[in-house]
Amino acid sequence: MKYILVSSFLSVLSLATARIAEMAKAPIDFEEEWSKISNGTLEIKWYYFPTTQSLKIDIDKIQQVKIIRQDKGYAKNWGSGDFGTWWACDMKRNFRTHADQFYNVKVDIGETFKKGFTVNELDKFLVAIRKWLKVQNIAFE
Ligand SMILES: *[C@@H]1O[C@H](CO)[C@@H](O)[C@H](O)[C@H]1NC(C)=O
């Protein structure tokens, strides 16, 4: 009896340990200076003013993703200019030499403010976010 208890305790323990190890190692699907996608979560870095804290979003809550090249439209470096989108900090957003290789991406999760951030490697970003999006609603402006 004791043996059974101990051995079942041990197997529960090893299951728990394996589960923790598995949880700790959720693969990173995409990461740049401005965002990270892992385990169904989009982390927008440098988001909050003035703390620079990240914002984490469940990707399955995203209703639309809008993308525009940085040389084709203006967006604030940090904060909101139009009361429609809050842009995470990117002090170079409007000062890039190769602005045609960077994108302003905003996601709509049905809140007052859309959440905006910079992406450089757009192809990789799209592969990563498509994997977790419930609504495949990606628009290019
Ligand atoms: C991965 O996502 C699942 C479901 O949301 C969650 O339960 C789990 O804790 C997450 N793992 C990590 C490492 O964040």
- The DSSP code sequence of 9-71 is HHHHHHHHHHHHHHHHTPPEEEE-SSEEEETTEEEESS-STTT---EEEEGGG--EEEEEETT
Residue 78 lies in a domain: yes
Residue 16 lies in a domain: no
Residue 122 C-alpha to ligand 1 middle, in angstroms? Answer: 25
For residue 9, name the pLDDT band (cuts at 50, 70, 90). Answer: low
Q: Cβ(39) to ligand 1 under 6 A?
A: yes
For residue 135, name the pLDDT band (cuts at 50, 70, 90). Answer: very high
Residue 53 lies in a domain: yes
Domain extent, residue 125, equals: 28-140
pLDDT at 4: 52
What six digits make up the tokens of 45? 């870095």
pLDDT at 54: 98
Residue 39 C-alpha to ligand 1 middle, in angstroms? Answer: 6
Q: Is the dihedral of CA 55, 59, 64, 70 positive or negative?
A: positive
AA letter at 94? N
Give the mean pLDDT of the chain. 91
pLDDT at 46: 98
Give the chain's domain count. 1
Residue 72 lies in a domain: yes
**For atom 9 of ligand 1, which residue has the closest CA?**
23
CA-based nearest residue to 28, from 20, 19, 15, 37? 37
Residue 93 lies in a domain: yes
CATH number, residue 125 = 2.30.29
Substitution candidate for ligand 1 out of 19, 20, 23 with most atoms within 8 A of CB: 23
Residue 26 C-alpha to ligand 1 middle, in angstroms? Answer: 8
Residue 10 lies in a domain: no
pLDDT at 81: 86
Substitution candidate for ligand 1 out of 25, 29, 38, 39 with most atoms within 8 A of CB: 39
Residue 19 has phi, psi (to 5 degrees) of -65, -45
Residue 121 lies in a domain: yes
Asked whether the predicted pLDDT for residue 23 surpasses 80, the reply is: no
Q: Cβ(20) to ligand 1 under 6 A?
A: no
**pLDDT digit string (tens) for 36-91?**
999 999 999 999 999 999 999 999 999 999 999 999 999 999 999 899 999 999 99
pTM for the predicted model, two decimal places: 0.83
Which residue would you say has higher pLDDT here, 7 or 129?
129
Residue 3 lies in a domain: no
